[in-house]
């Protein structure tokens, strides 16, 4: 008697993704409730750009804090797109950012516990006594629980603003709502053209934001930060924005962080600045999810005006609320 072959249905990518997320949640829950004395974690990032390496370290700080572990700081030592003849570029950024303030260094902990055990994902970490773990980032945790970042954003900002910023120009005008629009248009894109900032989208979003601020009785200054030629951005020129093209990266990053309203690009540099910001963040959907308090732009560049108005009035240290009638 012939056997009937049962055809297994292929598992869809979406179903596999949900199963992996569910398994990760279980592992993180188990880690959270396990007790361990001095389980240390460091995230040195990969050999990529500034934004990605800053975001990697912030995700490590988040994971360690939420899972009852010790965050260990690995200083920046190598950065993509380092200017020629600027071998001290990573060290300058390390001093400028101040993210390692108050945390033990990787060198110090390695001297006490030995070299770290290297893994690729935080789900692989075993929470045991006197252990030291190293992985590129903890995005697997941060992307699953982006709301947990709100437990640490004040600490992130405090470390950043306590670090010396001598000689850095921050574009900011007192008495008005300062809006910083970050556009990603540069050489770092390579084949990732889906991350490109489109001018029509940015112009529609900027117009909506400007009109909303004006409708609430405040004046605003809108500054666009990017590289390239502003002559290629005619739609934004018509809105009367200030262009800051090809400027010093320290000044650009500091201006993004300090803005009352930060309009993100699909960029790790934007995301890192947003995590350090005390102002209102307008989020352009990308592969890392938004924090609950951020306002998400729609595909056509429009915004939920009611939510935008509420967030403008609720924004705190950025002082947007104090500039509204």
Q: Which of 278, 230, 226, 234 is nearest to 253 (CA)?
A: 226
Residue 155 CB neighbours (<10 A): 13
pLDDT tens-digit readout, 23-59: 899 999 999 998 889 999 999 988 889 999 999 999 9
Please report, rounded to a whole number, the percentage of residues in the chain having pLDDT higher than 70: 87
CA dist 122 and 99 (Å) reads 20
Look up residue 8 and give its DSSP letter.
P
Q: What count of other Cβ atoms lies within 10 Å of the Cβ of residue 40?
A: 22
Among residues 292, 129, 302, 309, which one has the least CA distance to residue 215?
309
Question: How many H helices and E strands in the chain?
Answer: 11, 10
SS3 7: coil
Average the pLDDT over 143-151 and give the result. Answer: 97
Task: Give the mean model confidence (pLDDT) for residues 314-321.
Answer: 56
pLDDT tens track for 4-24: 555 555 556 565 655 677 889
pLDDT at 192 over 50: no
Taking CB atoms within 8 Å and a gap of at least 24, the contacts of 119-125 are: 122/28, 122/41, 122/63, 122/67, 123/23, 123/24, 123/27, 123/28, 125/31, 125/39, 125/41
Sign of CA dihedral 148, 74, 97, 179: negative
Tokens of 278: 């005390």
Q: Tokens 């001095």 identify what position?
A: 38
Annotate 96-126 with b (16+ C-beta within 10 A) or e (fewer). bbbbbeebeebeebbeeeeebeeeeebbebe
Q: Where are the domains of the chain?
A: 29-162, 177-323
Burial 274-287 (b: 16+ CB within 10 A, else e): bbbbbbbbbbbebe
CATH number of 177-323: 3.40.50.2000
Per-residue confidence (pLDDT) for residue 86, from 0 to 100: 78
C-beta atoms surrounding 212 within 10 Å: 17
pTM score, whole prediction: 0.89
Torsion angle, CA of 166/170/175/178, rounded to 10 degrees? -150
User: CA 18 to CA 11: how far, in whole Å?
Assistant: 11
Q: Which of 93, 53, 45 is nearest to 271 (CA)?
A: 53
Pairing of strands 220-226, 39-42: unpaired
Q: Are strands 261-263 and 177-182 parallel, antiparallel or unpaired?
A: parallel
Answer whether residue 324 shows pLDDT above 60.
no
Residue 268 CA to residue 186 CA, distance in Å, equals 13
Question: Which range is least confidently modeled, 243-247, 261-265, 306-310?
Answer: 306-310
Distance of CA 324 to the CA centre of its chain: 28
Q: Which residue has the higher pLDDT, 299 or 142?
A: 142
Which has the minimum average pLDDT: 86-100, 116-130, 241-255, 309-323?
309-323
58-90 pLDDT, tens digit per residue, is 999 999 999 999 999 999 999 988 887 778 999
């Amino acid at each position: 008697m012939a056997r009937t072959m049962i055809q297994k249905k292929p598992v869809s990518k979406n179903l596999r993704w949900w199963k992996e997320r569910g398994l990760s949640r279980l592992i993180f829950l188990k880690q959270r409730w396990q007790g361990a004395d001095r389980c240390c974690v460091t995230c040195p990032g990969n050999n990529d750009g500034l934004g990605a390496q800053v975001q990697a370290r912030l995700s490590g700080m988040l994971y360690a804090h939420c899972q009852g572990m010790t965050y260990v700081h690995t200083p920046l030592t190598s950065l993509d797109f380092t200017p020629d003849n600027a071998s001290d570029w990573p060290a300058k950024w390390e001093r400028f950012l101040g993210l390692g303030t108050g945390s033990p260094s990787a060198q110090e902990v390695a001297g006490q516990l030995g070299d770290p055990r290297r893994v690729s994902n935080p789900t692989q970490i075993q929470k045991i006594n006197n252990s030291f773990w190293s992985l590129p980032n903890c995005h697997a945790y941060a992307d699953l629980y982006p709301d947990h970042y709100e437990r640490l954003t004040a600490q992130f900002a405090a470390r950043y603003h306590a670090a010396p910023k001598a000689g850095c120009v921050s574009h900011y005008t007192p008495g008005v709502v300062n809006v910083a629009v970050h556009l990603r248009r540069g050489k770092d894109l390579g084949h990732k053209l889906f991350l490109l900032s489109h001018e029509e989208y940015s112009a529609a979003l900027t117009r909506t934001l400007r009109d909303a601020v004006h409708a609430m009785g405040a004046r605003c200054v809108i500054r666009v930060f990017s590289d390239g030629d502003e002559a290629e951005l005619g739609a934004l020129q018509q809105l009367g924005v200030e262009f800051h093209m090809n400027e010093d990266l320290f000044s650009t990053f500091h201006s993004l962080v300090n803005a009352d309203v930060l309009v993100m690009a699909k960029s790790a540099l934007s995301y890192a600045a947003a995590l350090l910001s005390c102002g209102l963040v307008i989020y352009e959907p990308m592969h890392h999810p938004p924090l609950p308090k951020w306002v998400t732009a729609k595909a056509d560049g429009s915004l939920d005006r009611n939510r935008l108005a509420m967030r403008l009035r609720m924004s705190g240290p950025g002082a947007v609320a104090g500039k509204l009638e």
